[in-house]
Structure 1
Amino acid sequence: MTANGGTGRGAGDGPLAVIFDLDGVLIDSEQVWDEIRRDLVVERGGTWRPESTRMMMGMSTPEWADYLVSLGIGMTADEAVAEVLRRLGQRYGDAPPVIEGAVGAVRALSALLPLAVASSSPHAIIDLVLRAAGLGADFQAFVSSEEVGRGKPSPDVYLEAASRLGVPAGRCVAVEDSTNGVRAAAAAGMAVIVVPNPHFPPDPEAVALAGARIEDIGALTPGTVQDAYGAARAGGARA
């Protein structure tokens, strides 16, 4: 997008890339992860805590596995990961629940700017979803938080995604749905578009960090990206 409001790869002083979260942004899956992990804890005689759902949103695979172990499930972290991913694979099958409007929004943006995914899902799950949705060619990079030091709300996965695109983090716009995700992208110095997750709405304080808010991913347009970037550069927020 160019400085005069037009579009074009690498032109002007506008955003140079868009980085998407996966769960809750491209696929309707946050509640699936939650149900699977909650059921596992109950079945294994552990104790699910009131804060467990929000604690694990955004955690990397090693982080949430260790957290599940701490709930008293009587499994190793590796065993917990294997079981959760086995159940997730059964739920997804060959058709992950792609959110209506996501494919069109991604393709409209990929014609203008390089795109990446920065997700807490394992690498194999990201690959599965993008292939199933027919979006593999629309993303130049994707990063799982299991590949970096810390999961969200730390900025690591977003910084790595920007690095793989060869774009400064401050010239990227992130698309997020959760409290920890918005905080991670903002901590990376990115402008943020928040698409509030209907199952687990982000905290108002996190929403206030975003440069733009949309109610569904189908409403994501090049203009929204420009608005979010402009608001962030101006030091304001559009909620």
Structure 2
Amino acid sequence: MSAIRAVVFDLDGVIIDSEGVWEQVRRAYVAEHGRQFLPDSQDRMMGMSTGEWSAHLSHEVGVPRSPEQVAGDVLARMAQRYRAALPVIDGSVAVVRAMAERYPLALASSSARLLIDQVLDTAGLAGAFRVTLSTEEVPRGKPAPDVYEEAARRLGLPPAACAAVEDSSNGLRSAAAAGLAVVCVPHGVYPPAADALAAADMVLDGIADLTPEAVQKLR
């Protein structure tokens, strides 16, 4: 096993408490078009890339707009919500800054590039990450390993030398499939499935418990 030499953070549910905002915005948008989520829509969309979740809403949920139109509509609403009030998780900014003093950091997010940049600028974290990556920029979204494999490649490290910090089922599956050491910080409202949680090397009660000393124990 390689010693951990870098840390890759997820964004939604780890740094910002945005999963509920995503659900509210997308449910309201779908309802405006006379449709409703499928029973598994919320779970499936957590981790999907922009192209994947917009196609789901268009083709499977039945919103009468193209995937490109759906993406543009929903992302505009998300950006507006973030401008009004960014839902930063208590302690997450301090944790990221502390980890950046010890390790090179990357961000591997299912959010669109425009939202990633807006969030990091607003939270004052734009300079903390050497690499920021959206699943828009890789062939497949989470749970596929693409975004974590590419984040490690851009850091110049093998995946086994990186730790991932995740909260969602698909995020945990993605990081584990890529071969990273996996730290899970479960979301209280959207907890990961049992099989995904079992892939984690470490489970923390909250993001404030993530320390360089904890990361050292992973390998």
Classify the TM-score, shorter chain.
over 0.9
TM-score by length of 1: 0.88
One-letter amino acid of the structure 2 residue matched with residue 218 of structure 1: A
Across the aligned residues of Structure 1 and Structure 2, the Cα RMSD in angstroms comes to 1.3
Match runs of 1:74-93 below 5 Å: 74-93=64-83
TM-score by length of 2: 0.96
Q: Which has the higher contact order (CA 8 A, sep 6+)?
A: 2
Match runs of 1:94-113 below 5 Å: 95-113=85-103
One-letter amino acid of the structure 1 residue matched with residue 184 of structure 2: V
Determine helix, strand or coil for the equivalent of 1:136.
coil
Aligned counterpart in structure 2 of residue 14 of structure 1, from 3, 24, 39: 3
Whole-Å Cα distance in 1 between the matches of residues 178 and 97 of structure 2? 25
1:58 matched to 2:47? The reply is yes
Q: Which runs of 4+ in 1 moved over 3 A?
A: none
- How far 1:196 sits from its partner (Å)? 0.3
Counterpart position of 1:161: 151
Larger radius of gyration: 1
One-letter amino acid of the structure 1 residue matched with residue 198 of structure 2: A
1:215 matched to 2:205? The reply is yes
- How far 1:198 sits from its partner (Å)? 1.3
Whole-Å Cα distance in 2 between the matches of residues 92 and 106 of structure 1? 19
Aligned counterpart in structure 1 of residue 23 of structure 2, from 23, 28, 34: 34
One-letter amino acid of the structure 1 residue matched with residue 178 of structure 2: A
User: Which segment drifts farther, 86-95 or 151-160?
Assistant: 86-95
One-letter amino acid of the structure 2 residue matched with residue 186 of structure 1: A
Whole-Å Cα distance in 2 between the matches of residues 188 and 119 of structure 1? 15
Identity, in percent, stands at 50
One-letter amino acid of the structure 1 residue matched with residue 161 of structure 2: R
One-letter amino acid of the structure 2 residue matched with residue 110 of structure 1: A
Q: Is the 8 A contact 1:115 1:139 kept in 2?
A: yes
One-letter amino acid of the structure 1 residue matched with residue 23 of structure 2: D
Q: Deviations over 1:34-54 (max 9, x none)?
A: 111111111101231110000
Counterpart position of 1:181: 171
- How far 1:94 sits from its partner (Å)? 5.7
